[in-house]
Amino acid sequence: MKKTMLLFLAFASSLLFADAPKYVFVFIGDGMSVPQRMVAEEYSQKLGKGKLILNHLSTHATTRTCSATSLVTDSAASGTAIACGVKTYNGAIGVDADKNKVESMAEAAKKAGRKVGIVTTVTLSHATPSAFYAHRQSRGLVYQIALDLINSDFEYFAGGGLPRYNDKKDDEYCGNIFELARSKGYKVLDKTDEFRKLKPSDGKVIYTAKRDDSMLYTIDNDGSEPTLAELTAKGIEMLDNPKGFFMMVEGGKIDYAGHGNDAATNLADLMALNDAVNEAMKFAKKHKDEVLIIVTGDHETGGMTMGVAGTGYALHIDRLKYQKCSIEKFKKIYKAEAKRIEEEEEREMVFADAKKLLEKWFSFDFSGKSAADDKAAGDKFAKANAVGKGNPMAINKKELEMLEEAFKDGKLPVAARQIINNKSGVGWTTGAHTALPVLTTCYGKECERFAGFLDNTDIGKTVKKLYKSDD
């Protein structure tokens, strides 16, 4: 009786869960929630670049992100929830709340005969990607995580750096990660042109754009590093085979820009993730009924919103186009210029020098002739910015005071960031993560399983069930 019942249940669940799609893509925007997606959407449409495909897939699900220990998750717990389908504590990589190893969807895919790819713009040993191949009690154990990477036998790794050594040389130290990877049959490379020449016949690959750092922000990438779309397209080329593949692609630096409250940089990296999703969509169009595409975020970062105190009903997201580099890069440019002036001109940097940099990198207009300099602008950015006449990047009296003050305090880049955020109407509440839900959008075979209201663990659980993993 019991046996018949079990057989029946097995039969019923095989009906409920058809075979996994031949090709599965999971895209994760780190720190990407609804505000980030909608700021980028608004920006893209305002600039005539059209809709963002990642926001316009077939199904949508509001997705809770809390970890086992906090309403506000970190990337390790949320990565583990998405990859493995379990709630765990902040900091955990591929282990549950009791520190037991839990299989990830990527490992389930591998078991089901698929080739596997892991792609990210941050280091390959970072929390989100490592949740798909590693099992460690702490995200800080990056050398051990890198050991798990080379032991995963996954076919394609592409992203930022990977730690080579373990400074502490503890029990688990067994040598240079790159040498170990080669001994396990990986082709290891770090040059952009080498990456672009990769062919499927090269076999298993680890590509690191940096030594032990994340890749460049999209806004700062002059083409010297591959884009996330390139990493994805190359992954498709390297992994495609008659048994199919699984690929996780992370836009990891959306989160970094969120921590830095840097809106222009944030949305540029989100749009780069959108371009990567577009590569998967092109592939899906050629492989009808064989592809599942999931796009989600692991949590929100920065408490981003559209509309800030003082801007009223005026929003000018398109003004973010005037910012030409990340705030992080601007800080370096600013420092270098101060040093150059000191060495070459033998004097200290003055505010007039700083103004030149602000004109170049933020298109700030110090002519004082525009509508933004009207008398109402005295104490509210809003009124100045809502006028709509004159140069939108004109600096009013209040803003000028703010910049001069910041210059004296050595905090000019921070003030520039605040001014462009205000002029655009983008607000931030924190430099950390928030508990806001994220949005999961889906396209293709089995996408209806990811609609409605989800917990982030549902994503891992469902994909693993599709692969009929018995873990």
Smallest distance, Zn ion to C-beta of residue 181, A: 25
Residue 306: CB partners within 8 Å, gap ≥ 6?
35, 38, 39, 42, 315, 317, 425, 426, 427
Stated as kind and residue range, the H or E segment containing 61 is: strand 59-64
Q: Please tell me whether residue 90 binds Zn ion under the rule CB under 5 A.
A: no
Closest CA to 230 of 187, 49, 204, 221: 221
Locate 371 and state its tokens.
């509508």
Q: Which residues does 166 contact at the CB level (< 8 Å), separation at least 6?
A: 143, 144, 172, 173
Is 269 a binder of Zn ion (CB under 5 A)?
no
For position 262 contacting Zn ion by CB under 5 A, the verdict is no
Q: Which is nearer to Zn ion, 66 or 291 (CB)?
A: 66
In this complex, which beta carbon is closest to Zn ion, that of residue 33 or of residue 396? 33
298 binds Zn ion (CB under 5 A): yes
In the bound state with Zn ion, the residue whose beta carbon lies nearer, of 107 and 298, is 298
Which H helix or E strand runs over 238? helix 228-239
- Nearest Cα residue to 295 out of 128, 35, 56, 129: 56
Regarding 107 and contact with Zn ion (CB under 5 A), the answer is no
Q: Which residue is nearest to Zn ion (CB)?
A: 75
Please count the residues of this chain forming the interface with Zn ion, following the rule CB under 5 A.
Answer: 4
Q: Is 255 or 446 the residue whose CB approaches Zn ion more closely?
A: 255
Min dist CB 60 to Zn ion, Å, is 21
Cβ 308 to Zn ion shortest distance, Å: 24
Q: Does 300 bind Zn ion (CB under 5 A)?
A: no
Point out which span in 51-59, 92-100, 187-195, 290-298 binds Zn ion (CB under 5 A): 290-298
From the list 27-35, 115-123, 178-186, 439-447, the region that binds Zn ion by CB under 5 A is 27-35
Count CB neighbours of 323 within 10 A. Answer: 24
Q: What are the Cα distances from residue 100, in Å, to 66, 89, 94, 237?
A: 19, 12, 8, 35
Burial (CB < 10 A; 0-12, 13-18, 19+), residue 288, is exposed
- Find the part of the chain contacting Zn ion (CB under 5 A) among 132-140, 193-201, 297-305, 310-318: 297-305
Q: Which is nearer to Zn ion, 110 or 139 (CB)?
A: 139
Closer by beta carbon to Zn ion, 72 or else 426:
72
Dist. CA 186–CA 198, nearest whole Å: 13
Is residue 30 a contact point for Zn ion (CB under 5 A)? yes
Cα–Cα distance for residue pair 89/99, rounded to 1 Å:
9
| In the complex, minimum distance from the CB of residue 141 to Zn ion, in angstroms, rounded to a whole number | 18
Cβ proximity to Zn ion: between 32 and 357 the closer is 32
Contact region with Zn ion (CB under 5 A), list: 67-75, 173-181, 289-297, 462-470 = 67-75
75 counts as binding Zn ion under rule CB under 5 A: yes
**Do residues 397 and 378 lie in contact, with contact meaning Cβ atoms separated by under 8 Å?**
yes
Side chain identity at residue 132, one-letter code: F
User: Where on the chain is the footprint of Zn ion (CB under 5 A)?
Assistant: 30, 75, 255, 298
